[in-house]
Chains A and B, each alone.
Chain A
Amino acid sequence: MSAKTGDAREVLIAQFDEFVDGIFAPLEAWLPGLQSQLAERLEHGALTGAQLTALIEREAHAVLESTDRPLYGAGFCATDAIVNEGNPLAWWQGPDRSLLASSTFGPGQAAIDLQRLEWFRVPAATGAGHIAGPFVDYLCSNEITLTASIPVTLDGAFVGVLCADVLVASIENLLLPLLSQLEGAALVNSSGRVVVSANPGYETGDRFVGDLDTTRSTRYPFALALPVPVMS
């Protein structure tokens, strides 16, 4: 690659990293306050879903109101170590900022197994923030979604994740002009799945396969992918 396109890629990845920083920023800012709120409340035993919702709602709405990123939803998903009854999700989504339905996630024999969900499983396992997707969020937004999440711990014990959702449709307009600067470029996740593509041969959701020339983000599980030019 020429030095010039190499630079262009680094610049693009840096711009994208900066965009993702802005998704995580309100979660990081929220974390210490949430930890002390939870610590205080949990002195009296585990919470019910309704109590958790009441505890979280104002801050979640504040995040959604104040961010300059196009967040679709935000909230907290607790383990059953701290919420033992009702909905473990205090999470608001969509233009009406609706609380995710407790009948989907509440306890009972049909409750969803959180370990199956990447945005929960990865931070629980690694102890670090993660951004999952793009995936069809058929349980909640019913859109192609990216979900950023950071682990929440109390005295070292994992008690849940703070999350923010971004719809792929809402970031296309920001990313496409950047990607279009490089011929055939696409932003892909760590498994090669296209997030946003300026390459007419690939759409969001496709996996970028074959010979690839990638420039990875050092901080997030994303990379810029370009087809390897055919040698003539």
Chain B
Amino acid sequence: MQNAPKLTEGAEMEASSPSPGSSRLRTAAFAPIGDEGRAELVETRLMQAISTGAFIEGERLPSENELSQLFGVAVVTVREALGTLRHRGLIDTKRGRGGGSFVRSSPGVVEEVNAKALMAMPRVALADLGVLYEVIVSACAEYACLRATPDELDVVQRVLSDARDLPAGAWRRRITDVQLELAALSQSVRLTSEHVRVQTEFTPLLALQDLHTGQRHLTHDALIAQIDATRDGDVAQAREVVRRSIRSSVRWLGSLRAELIEASASGDPRATLERYRGQTGSASFTGEAA
């Protein structure tokens, strides 16, 4: 299967096919809201879709009509939510042919929203979210070690392998996809659903690491190591890789949070984020308690 010969059609499709993304997060974001749904809920869901990177900067959201159908709310409710997001500077709306609502393409808008979410989250809550995420991902990894096939791992590895040097937004989406795919290889519907739930909550924060090249590479390399361990059926190693990677991320986010809060007294979180951007140093974040 993995060495499938390329058909003419297939080759064309591969060349023109858009980068695969975190479609499952879109499905979670667009689950029906029902009667209790109001504009704020729609707004929260759309915020979630944008801040998890299910839609990236410059990308068009589904139309008002489609959103209304997906959420199961009136078009006017969708319109109200979109209005608020526009007012907050997260989306732009263009009229006419090819128009619609687009995630604002000025860089850093989403990052700033996520940075504010990190600052607003108590440190104890961040740590606890990290614990839950680690436990779910480790449990998925353990079952994937027992149940995944080499063919399936080849597919995941391919998705990851050419992603390393993508721009941060596209990279994060690919990574989220790889993480969900690895979770599904547990062959457990319930574990996979839990993973989607926690991942949806955590990805906006995890994505703050993406401005820091060193952190990005740590995450990337940890996933490669996780795939290798899964291929070897090495449960202890897979769990260890997951544990170290997630603890490293949580510690890094804890430090960033502290700096953002300290800087916010004197003004803008942007300056702190800019200081991290492109940095490659990562030696101090091993994920181990000092």
> Chain A residues in contact with chain B, CB under 8 A?
79-81, 101-105, 107-116, 118, 121-122, 124-126, 134-136, 138-139, 142-144, 157-159, 191, 193, 204-207
Set A111, A138, A159, A206: member contacting B147, Cβ < 8 A: A206
**11 more CB-based (< 8 A) A-B contacts, given A111-B21, A113-B159, A134-B187:** A103-B70, A104-B24, A105-B23, A110-B23, A110-B55, A113-B19, A116-B20, A121-B4, A135-B187, A205-B187, A206-B146
Closest to A145 in B: B189
Q: Is the Cβ of A139 less than 8 Å from the Cβ of B24?
A: yes
Q: Is the Cβ of B147 less than 8 Å from the Cβ of A207?
A: yes
- B window 53-75: CB within 8 A of A: 54-56, 59-60, 62, 66, 70
B10 within 8 A of A: yes
Tell me the bound Cα distance from A158 to B5 in angstroms: 13
Q: Is the Cβ of A138 less than 8 Å from the Cβ of B196?
A: yes
Instruction: Write 15 A-B pairs (CB below 8 A) sorted by A numbering.
Output: A79-B13, A81-B12, A102-B62, A102-B66, A103-B30, A108-B59, A109-B173, A111-B17, A113-B17, A115-B13, A116-B155, A125-B5, A136-B186, A136-B188, A139-B23
Known pairs A136-B192, A205-B187; A159 contacts B27 (CB<8 A): no
Q: Is the Cβ of B26 less than 8 Å from the Cβ of A104?
A: yes
Q: Is the Cβ of B9 less than 8 Å from the Cβ of A79?
A: yes
Tell me the bound Cα distance from A194 to B68 in angstroms: 41
Chain B residues, Cβ within 8 Å of A159: 9
Q: Is the Cβ of A193 less than 8 Å from the Cβ of B147?
A: yes
Chain A residues, Cβ within 8 Å of B26: 101, 103-104, 110
Q: Is the Cβ of B62 less than 8 Å from the Cβ of A144?
A: no
Digitize B155-192: 1 where CB-to-A-CB distance is under 8 Å, 0 elsewhere.
10001000000000010010000001001101111001
A-B pairs with CB below 8 Å: how many?
A: 134
Closest to A102 in B: B66
Tell me the bound Cα distance from A138 to B185 in angstroms: 10
Closest to B156 in A: A116
Q: Which label, helix, strand, loop or mixed, suits the secondary structure of the B interface? A: helix
Chain A residues, Cβ within 8 Å of B18: 107-111, 113
- B window 134-161: CB within 8 A of A: 143, 146-147, 149, 151, 155, 159
Q: Is the Cβ of A108 less than 8 Å from the Cβ of B60?
A: yes
Q: Is the Cβ of B184 less than 8 Å from the Cβ of A111?
A: no
Chain B residues, Cβ within 8 Å of A118: 1, 151
Closest to A134 in B: B187
Chain A residues, Cβ within 8 Å of B20: 110-113, 116
Tell me the bound Cα distance from A187 to B189 in angstroms: 20
Known pairs A125-B1, A143-B189; A112 contacts B23 (CB<8 A): yes
Q: Counting chain A CB atoms within 10 Å of each CB, which of B12, B26, B186, B193 scores highest?
A: B26
Tell me the bound Cα distance from A112 to B60 in angstroms: 16
In the complex, how many angstroms separate the beta carbon of B179 from the nearest chain A beta carbon?
Answer: 12
Chain A residues, Cβ within 8 Å of B146: 206-207
Closest to B2 in A: A121
- B window 244-274: CB within 8 A of A: none
Chain B residues, Cβ within 8 Å of A111: 17-18, 20-21, 23
B7 within 8 A of A: yes
In the complex, how many angstroms separate the beta carbon of A132 from the nearest chain B beta carbon?
Answer: 10
Tell me the bound Cα distance from A144 to B190 in angstroms: 10
Set A105, A115, A122: member contacting B17, Cβ < 8 A: A115
Tell me the bound Cα distance from A159 to B14 in angstroms: 14
The 7 closest A-B pairs by CB, nearest first: A110-B21, A205-B187, A125-B4, A113-B20, A191-B149, A136-B184, A104-B23
Chain A residues, Cβ within 8 Å of B55: 110
Closest to A192 in B: B149
Closest to B61 in A: A103
B284 within 8 A of A: no
Set B159, B183, B188: member contacting A116, Cβ < 8 A: B159
Chain A residues, Cβ within 8 Å of B170: 109
In the complex, how many angstroms separate the beta carbon of A220 from the nearest chain B beta carbon?
Answer: 15
In the complex, how many angstroms separate the beta carbon of B94 from the nearest chain A beta carbon?
Answer: 16
Tell me the bound Cα distance from A112 to B22 in angstroms: 8
Q: Is the Cβ of B147 less than 8 Å from the Cβ of A122?
A: no
- B window 13-41: CB within 8 A of A: 13-14, 16-24, 26-27, 30
Q: Is the Cβ of A125 less than 8 Å from the Cβ of B19?
A: no
